[in-house]
Structure 1
Amino acid sequence: MTSVNLSNIAITKAKFRYSMSELVDDFLRKKLSKEVREYAKNELGIDHIYKSYDFSKIDFEKDDFVEPDVSLGDMYYRTLKKSLRGVDTKKIGLLVTINDNQQYLDPSPTVELIPKLAFRKDIRAQNFQGLACSSFSESLLNSAGFFLMNGKDDAVVLIGTHYTPWFLDRIKQIKHISKKNKADFHNLIYFLIFSDITASVILSEKKTKNTQLQIDTESILTLKDTKNASKKATIKISPDKKHRMIFDMKLDSQKLRQDVANLSAQNIKLLRKKTPSEFKKIKIWGLHTAGRRFVDYVSEKCQIDKTQIGLSYDLMKKTGNTGAVSSLQFINECVNKKELSKNQLGCFVDYG
């Protein structure tokens, strides 16, 4: 058995906090139909989100591109500095970045962070882009593989969810949003549900004095959708007449919900079969905080009692959809709130 020991968890939220009512009734009121405003306030299950923009300075009626007030690079750096406090960076042999943002043409964050944080020259680097909210489990398995090859070194995982520049730019170009135009409506919903947030954690093969939680890699199960018979979502990025890159998304949210719920249910079935005695000891469940409809649907499909996932609903209300950070955020809350005692088990279901 290979275990992954988690320590020095750090989470950084973007500095601007907004209520859902503030966003739809104040900043975006002129753009939204009343039906859309009521939907956002009553159906998303989210009370507050964190953004990298000071919206009081933005004219939402203009279609100009606006740079964030807080850069993802700065949030990455501040977060990793917290995790690395008191740590010898020369003992870190692997840096994994989970890079959920719109800048596909940017260099990997490792290009900037390795010299700034004084990592050693031969550190291995991996960058996940595209697995989105389900990336953390993959990073744990990759780190476990690294330990098997080189057990003396630790790994560090850095996660960034920074979708606001993507969706804000699209929202500013739309004159009016109602539920009649599904593409515009989904762009708005994704703008509203995501927080800009970063997180990091140090992973070790052996337990240390700083270990907060241990995960048996035998219990980490990941499944991919191999059918791909129909497109659930398409993303198109192309220049307009002014050579500005325009982001457009078409999404079949119902199909997406069904497919991630089916995969999640299959994963849980495999976990129960693989570790029957441990499965019975699971005290608390967590689900990726993708919005109330997703969490409700996935939990029902997986036959998880809602009383056991109260922490996920609570986190979703307070910070919205935190992307791939949601896994580590849930783990961190379990530790800080002492939801789990020594030798007790919890289970998190991520999907994306």
Structure 2
Amino acid sequence: MGGAGVSLVFDILGLVVIALAGLTLIWFVREKFLRASHPVKGGRHEGVVLPHDAPLELYANPFSHCSRKVTLAMAEYGLAFRYRQIELIETGWYQTISPAFLKINPAGLLPVLVHDGVPIFESDEILDYLGNLGTGDPLVPEEAEARARMQQWIAFCGISSDDPMGKIATHAGACIPGLTLPIFATMVQDIKIRHILVGILFHPDKKRPGFFLAARGMGLAKILKSGPAPALIRASRDAMRVHLQTINKSLEQSDGPWIMGSQLTLADISLAAIYIRLDETGWLDWFMQSDDLAAIAAHYKGWQARPSWQKAVTERRLDIIDAGRARLAEALASSAEIKSILHGAS
């Protein structure tokens, strides 16, 4: 092939590269537009009607802290509903930022309750809304003072969408993200890297997919020795230890088996969501071995004996959570270094 032929080949290759780059850019811009999210106000959104097959539908994920609260409340109220599982990156892929789900919730957050096609956003708003629909025993006290105390417990257990870890010193819920990091690192080993890269490209919060990608590549031991993860975990652990002592003392002083006394309320449901996450991440056993939390143990056992627990929690267990939990337990048992990082002195 002469010089002119070689030049022609390179010209063609250059055009192919430019065309591919152009197509990639077009794809990225299109996906960015289709996956654009924005905040939405909590509560019922009148005027919005979504496709639905049942009077009540819940878009949720069994690993989602906020989804669990709502699912448990709906089971306690005896409500019939269709459960639409939406995947998180921790359980498979970023379905929450898929164009299809963003039509359900433009914020890309779970859970979402749909009542006769009308969406209700934010878990605590949904819990309030469910009180008007339930046929079971009421989960909200009649007395104003008791309702105010219940709301304080709900807030104490809540996780802010804006700043999830911003109040770890005063809110137990704010400790949950940090304490979940170790099991995130073990669960993510089952997630395809291409699914994590979707978050890097399109998720509004780059920190989470960045952590998942690093954990996927580095593994638990290395991720626990680098970056901000170790400090976040220890700060969350130490704060949660104080919060659990507060919860335990309040349970000891209550007049019944529940945090508000004889009536099971939304406050107990919020605490149950805390217990589940601490249990599946291995932290609950560690806290109970470190401190006298007998009242919490009894509270948790009481929850696990309820039919609602079977429906909302046991029947919705995910294999990927069990696999991540097993890997974490194995790492703690086999590595003194990992155990020291997670359970050692601050």
Q: Give the TM-score normalised by structure 1.
A: 0.29
Q: Specify which structure has the higher proportion of helix.
A: 2
Larger Rg: 2
Q: Give the TM-score normalised by structure 2.
A: 0.29
Comparing both chains, which one has the higher relative contact order based on Cα–Cα distances under 8 Å and sequence gaps of 6 or more?
1
Q: Specify which structure has the higher proportion of strand.
A: 1
